[in-house]
Chain A
């Protein structure tokens, strides 16, 4: 824990902002993530300027804990008469001198609140004001671009620790009563969301549902259509979406099928290394890029189905000036990230299945109108040589086998992190096996034919597991970790907030945790006394 305080002089516009400047230098050395740095700077600067503009003098106290910063600014000044009014955007009591310099827009306090995770203010007229802001700081990403879309709502965390054990790449820690993601390790799968009962873990950008315009395209996964029980078939759901105003509904399965065929064709070329891995599931691709880099050459160079769908929307926009905006229902954080990575000229919004569920429900009893019982539909048999595997543990096993060259008899691998592919996303409600069964027993015609799209950029290995960019330093760190592991109990209990003792050892060496976090150490030391 680091505590610092800075004095702020009222009315001194010349040196105003210096406390914020020196705070910035400190945070840089710690390596705070850039988005959070911005939030801290806006908060600190606005709070500092409030003292300079309104008060005689003040003090800014900074407390830096693991993963959070508390900024407390107390001043001796006139105080605030009506705090509710002061919190309104555009309300200001700044003097003319400050306004001339561009201050006094009445945005200061609202700006601070907007950028804080926790915010409180109290004031006594004639004496002064005390403002407290807490900002949670993300752990530093070692290198590479940030590629995940998990969303954390800290307040909901009950510290059950299930997520830390569920994460296949050991990317989650629960410390200070809230989950943290080590972004360089996260592969955007859904394992943690699936075990989180409180809703503390979810997908980013859930966003409110907005009225679609005439040209809005809605792109949904097939699994969405089979979430409403036995009497409400996909046709009924599609009709409900039309009632909502979505005239153009596309189902991502069209692109999944297109990719499926394209990959089989691609694998038929003799020269390809077997097995060819289909990039159907973005999370599987992330896993390979991080844990199985030697298999990167096996991934067929196509865009994921949802990215191909996104491309299609862009194309439609270009040639017909239609599809001004597109709403995607992403069934997992991986798809969400895939959509975020591409900048487009059209307005793309990504929503969670849950927000569309709410919009569609209640599905009225007009079931006679369209709903239909499920019945068997003839499907093409799976072509030979294609191995379809779903579920994290099976996927990991198979990749390990493939890496060791034990799967040469398989032509194409179709891997999904979730059980039964996207039907098993924890963002859906129906049981994955039931949902898939129902889908296979219906026949929905795609409204347009889809094509697989070749990637322009190659897949790249992620530096995820690397301890340091400098190899010699990384080796030293590794040695330290090994020594630490010996001193830890090896029970992998998870009480320290890390999933295993070796993860804790790594966290300690990387400065993400203290050795005291281990609950067993005290007991052992007591015994030796």
Chain B
């Protein structure tokens, strides 16, 4: 196992380099530049824009720019944002806690709903409970988050006036009041994200459990006289976890990457809103930094998932 891990980690380095090269090329070739906002302003003469392009190095060949980025990155210099002209790492670090909190909580919420509901529904397929759970799940993923978010705002902020819908990273309160305010402002975005995610998780869990529940070893376990609870938890769930682990591993990088739409709607100052602002302003250093960290997490969690497969099903080998 240790050699396998070491080998995978060693492979990760060139593969991340390759990914970074492709990311950089895509960003460099993608249309647009950081100066669109002053385009129709006659006060900014074209020469100024041209000079700025040159001073940001946008006119150099892509490979030159990539190598410059790579060597700076190797020395821990993440570059500076074209839009705010401050260091990219400062910018990202300001956003990380909020995103981890909001998106992380919503993922936990999603799992807390999806695992019990999915398992229970699968043990009683086509029962009333299963039908209701399924229908709700379908509603969940056929409505986009921009829509459910707005629905919650209209209901809870505007009609009932219970919760604020503008998320603030600096609540001017201390002690329990701080927690209360935090809860009030975070509940809507977490619910929107959590339920959306829970909807698809539930379907996967249900399906995965259904796949194993009729296998012979489950019948054997029951025949041995084990309690239904023990059979469900120890025999069925563990074997049904492989697709779930895959999905969670797929979603983990998103806990860092944020949720673009939901963050926009509730004005959450997270990585997602940073990324979309940067993309719309063509702020390449920021996009590059966020996507590269994201790529590292994707690779890392893929590796973790592979290790977990081996633990869940010892017969899996990576020869």
Asked if A and B bind, the verdict is no
Residues of chain B at the chain A interface (Cβ within 8 Å)? none
Residues of A within 8 A of B (CB): none
